[in-house]
Amino acid sequence: MTVRFELTTRLAELAGLAEPSIELDTPSSLPEALRALITRIGDAAAPLAPGGSLHPSILVVVDGLAHPPAHRDVTLRPGQTVRLMLPVAGG
- The footprint of other proteins (CB under 8 A) covers 8-10, 14, 47, 55-59, 61, 64-66, 68-71, 83, 85-91
**How near is the Cβ of 25 to other proteins at its closest, in Å?**
25
Rounded-to-integer distance, Cα 35 and Cα 3, Å: 12
User: Do 86 and 61 form a contact (C-beta atoms < 8 A)?
Assistant: no
**How near is the Cβ of 43 to other proteins at its closest, in Å?**
17
Q: Residue 27 or 56: which CB sits closer to other proteins?
A: 56
Q: Which of 4, 2, 3, 21 is nearest to 12 (CA)?
A: 21
